[in-house]
Amino acid sequence: MSVRSSTPATRLVAGVLCLLGAVLGPRTVSAVTIDFSLAGSGNLGVGTYTNGPVTADAFYESNGIFISTGVTLVVQNAADLHGFGVCSPQESGCASGGIQSELDNLGPSELVRLTLAPGWRWVDVSISALTTVILPDRGQLLFANGDALPGDLSFTTLLTGFSALNGTEQTLAVSGDAANAPFLYLIPGPLITTNNDDFLVWKVTVEQGQAVPEPAIALLLGVALAALSVLARNRARRK
């Protein structure tokens, strides 16, 4: 009788443990790469672009504050020139290529903010059009868990810097806390610089994991522990 009474509990424990293994083991992940060089051609006439879970917004600096009034995104797609640049109100001829069509700090500093939808995480960001004339072009990738633009960038954290010394086109890994942050920011230079820095924001790769809510895991553990308790009592009775 004791052996028979323990059989359902044994099966329950085995089933729960198998389910926990599936939950806590490797999860299916779907990666998506969004290529901004395919967003259109030339000056888009707007400062915002959304593709799937990612939104890109253009800003420029005015009196120490980054604002989006009158700023537009510019698309380039040619040899070594791929992705989004920014056209701020003070610039002219932004659709004709060159520095004014890129993300630059010739005059006011420009910025591209990337926003990620909930349930996704960043994998990497690719940039292009980094060149060396007198000094190598430079830029920075920053992140934040909350956005405070329009404003300055005091709320952000620097993830990494980059320069043309490492190539015209580069892919920057987004890891650690930055991978799960909803906001990334790309700027030329450091902000305080006398160099004419410029580049394009080319691509971004993001991924979505099939996460199981923690309460569900806790419930499964509770069921497994209860079943183990039943097994222990049955074994004690047999003794």
Higher pLDDT, 171 or 88: 171
pLDDT at 223 over 80: no
Mean pLDDT of 168-181: 97
Residue length of the chain: 239
Type of residue found at 231: L
Q: What pLDDT does residue 5 have?
A: 46
Are 129 and 135 spatial neighbours (Cβ–Cβ below 8 Å)? no
Question: What are the backbone angles phi and psi of residue 109, rounded to the nearest 5°?
Answer: -70, 145
Per-residue pLDDT tens for 202-213? 999 999 965 445
Q: How far apart are CA 180 and CA 43, in angstroms?
A: 31
Q: Between the ranges 19-33, 140-154, 201-215, where is the mean pLDDT highest?
A: 140-154
Fold type of domain 29-209: Jelly Rolls (2.60.120)
pLDDT band at 25 (very low <50, low <70, confident <90, very high): low
Q: Which of 156, 141, 149 is nearest to 190 (CA)?
A: 141
Mean pLDDT of the chain: 83
pLDDT at 150 over 50: yes
pLDDT at 227 over 70: no
CA distances from 196 to 100, 120, 138, 211 (A): 11, 34, 9, 44
Q: How far apart are CA 178 and CA 156, in angstroms?
A: 11
pLDDT at 232 over 60: no
Per-residue pLDDT tens for 66-81? 999 999 999 999 888 9
